[in-house]
Homo-oligomer: A and B are copies of this chain.
Amino acid sequence: MRLTRYTDYAMRVLLHLAARGDDGLASIGEIAILYGISQNHLMKVVQDLGKAGFVRTVRGRGGGVALARPADQIVVGQVVRQTEEGFQLVDCAGCVIAPACTLPRALNEATAAFIAVLDKYTLEDLLDRRHQMRALFGITEKAELPA
């Protein structure tokens, strides 16, 4: 059982934007380089996130991507639901016992439990090591000047 990289990348983008905070827009190319992944693929992920309302995208020079809402208002489960299409874990089409089989019911219940856990977390919750993550992203902290 695995999630697609598509979902993985979606979360990476969101985490990056969340850790970044209000430091303006980030470009897709920049994020792709950061993670060492395909810009083309990432483009489609971001586009999807945009249509779903998780991020806002700005075209043209100086454009880029940013969270559409505060990190504490973006629920992980919602993101996964969006990017991981179809949670039908088995394909009953053509199975002779389908009419009498209750396995799908159990699997659906299990899937619901899976998502329910992810619905407990927001991006903000995943940022408890925010400073460390910002450092990994190469985001420099503003120096705390003495008053």
Contacts and interface: CB of A to CB of B under 8 A. Distances in A.
Contact of A97 (B121, B125, B137): B137
This chain: copies in complex: 2
Interface in A1-55: 1-3, 5, 7-8, 11-12, 15-16, 34-36
A106 B113 contact: no
B99 A35 contact: no
A95 interface: yes
Contacts of A35: 95-96
Interface in A69-109: 76, 84, 86-91, 94-97, 99-103, 106-107, 109
B99 A132 contact: yes
A103 B136 contact: no
A35 B115 CA distance: 31
A117 interface: yes
Contacts of A118: 106-107, 110
14 contacts: A2-B88, A2-B90, A8-B90, A11-B103, A12-B97, A15-B97, A97-B137, A99-B136, A102-B125, A106-B121, A109-B117, A110-B117, A111-B114, A113-B117
Given A5-B91, A106-B125, A110-B115, 4 more contacts: A11-B103, A12-B95, A100-B132, A100-B136
